C-alpha cells in the first residue's frame, strides 16, 4: 500500500521507539503499525496536514464499519500516542490528536464460574488423568490446575520453562506483557498436578524438544490454540453453561481471591496488571454477585 508522503518513515521510527524504548511486545508493535497505516490511508494527507476534523472523520468511518468500541479505543490510544511522540520529537509543529476522544466503552463484567463448579471440573480432570495411561490427559489436568491456581494468561502458561517452577517456594516465575517478570504462588493441588505431568513428560518429549513445561503431542512446545481447546473441553465436561476458556479461569482466580478476602494490590501483582484500575473490575464482579445473592435470598429484597 502506497501511503501519502512522510508516513512510512515516521511509522517506522515510531515502531522502533515503542518497541525498543517502551518495551512493547512484537505483537503490539505490529498492531500499532497496522493501525497507523490504516489511518494514513484514511486521511490521505501528509502527517503535518492531519487535523482534528480528519481524525474525527476517521473515527466515524471506524464506527460505520462496525468496529467494536474496545477496538476503537485501542486505535485511538495508538494514534494519540503517535502524534504526541511526533510533536515531542519535533516532527510536527502541533498535535492534532490532543483533543481526540475515544467512544465510551460499555463495561461488560466477565462471567465467573462458582468455586464449586471449578472444583467439579478439576475433579473430573483428575479422574480422566488417573483412568488410563494417556500422558496428555495428565498434561491437560496440570494445565487447567495451573491456570486456575495462578491466574496466568494462556501465553504465559505455555511459555513456562522447566526452571521457572520453584517447588520450595511453591511458585512460578512468569514473563508477562512488556517482558515484565513476576513471581506467582501456586497451590498444592497445582504443584501436585505439575509433578504428575513432569513424571510422564519424557513419554511425550523427543530429541530436540524445548525445555517448555508443557509439550504438544509431537514433542514441541504446546501451541496456545491447543491449550485453549484443552480448557474449553475440560470446562464443558463440567456441565451445561460451564464451558469457558483460559481467560475465564483467570477471571475465576481473581474473583475467588477477592471474595476470599485478598487485597486488590496483591491480586494486581499476581495478575501482572500494570495498573490497579484494571484489577478493579473484579470488585465490581463481586459486588454484582452479592447483589444477586441478596435479591434471591432476602425476603424483602
Residues serving a catalytic function are: 153, 177, 247, 250, 273, 282
Give the C-alpha separation, 162 to 156, whole Å. Answer: 13
Give the C-alpha separation, 129 to 123, whole Å. Answer: 10
Give the C-alpha separation, 219 to 284, whole Å. Answer: 42
CA-to-CA separations, 259 to 90, 197, 270, 278, 297, in angstroms, rounded: 50, 30, 16, 17, 18
Burial of 148 per CB tally in 10 Å (0-12, 13-18, 19+): buried
Opening angle at CA 125, ends 124 and 128, nearest 5: 90
DSSP code string of 255-272: HHHHHTT--HHHHHHHHT
Confirm if 258 and 283 have CB atoms less than 8 A apart. Answer: yes
Q: Which of 246, 27, 280, 41 is nearest to 158 (CA)?
A: 246
Amino acid at each position: 500500500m502506497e501511503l501519502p508522503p512522510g508516513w512510512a518513515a515516521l511509522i517506522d521510527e515510531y515502531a522502533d521507539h515503542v518497541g525498543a524504548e517502551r518495551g512493547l511486545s512484537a505483537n503490539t508493535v505490529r498492531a500499532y503499525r497496522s493501525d497507523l497505516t490504516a489511518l494514513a490511508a484514511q486521511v490521505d494527507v501528509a502527517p503535518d496536514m492531519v487535523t482534528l476534523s480528519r481524525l474525527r472523520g476517521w473515527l466515524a468511518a471506524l464506527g460505520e464499519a462496525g468496529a467494536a468500541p474496545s477496538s476503537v479505543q485501542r486505535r485511538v490510544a495508538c494514534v494519540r500516542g503517535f502524534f504526541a511522540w511526533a510533536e515531542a520529537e519535533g516532527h510536527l509543529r502541533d498535535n492534532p490528536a490532543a483533543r481526540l476522544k475515544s467512544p465510551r466503552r460499555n463495561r461488560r463484567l466477565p462471567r465467573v464460574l462458582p468455586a464449586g463448579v471449578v472444583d467439579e471440573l478439576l475433579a473430573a480432570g483428575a479422574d480422566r488423568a488417573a483412568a488410563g495411561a494417556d500422558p496428555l490427559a495428565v498434561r491437560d489436568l496440570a494445565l487447567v490446575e495451573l491456570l486456575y491456581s495462578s491466574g496466568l494468561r494462556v501465553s504465559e502458561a505455555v511459555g513456562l520453562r522447566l526452571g521457572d517452577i520453584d517447588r520450595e517456594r511453591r511458585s512460578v516465575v512468569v514473563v508477562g506483557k512488556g517482558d515484565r517478570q513476576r513471581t506467582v504462588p501456586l497451590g498444592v493441588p497445582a504443584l501436585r498436578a505439575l509433578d504428575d505431568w513432569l513424571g510422564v513428560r519424557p513419554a511425550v518429549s523427543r530429541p530436540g524438544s524445548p525445555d517448555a513445561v508443557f509439550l504438544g503431542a509431537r514433542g514441541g512446545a504446546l501451541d496456545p490454540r491447543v491449550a485453549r481447546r484443552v480448557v474449553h473441553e475440560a470446562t464443558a465436561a463440567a456441565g451445561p453453561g460451564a464451558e469457558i476458556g483460559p481467560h475465564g479461569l483467570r477471571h475465576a482466580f481473581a474473583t475467588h481471591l477477592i471474595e476470599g478476602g485478598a487485597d486488590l494490590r496483591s491480586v494486581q501483582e499476581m495478575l501482572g496488571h500494570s495498573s490497579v484500575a484494571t484489577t478493579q473490575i473484579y470488585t465490581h464482579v463481586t459486588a454484582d454477585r452479592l447483589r444477586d445473592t441478596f435479591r434471591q435470598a432476602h425476603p424483602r429484597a
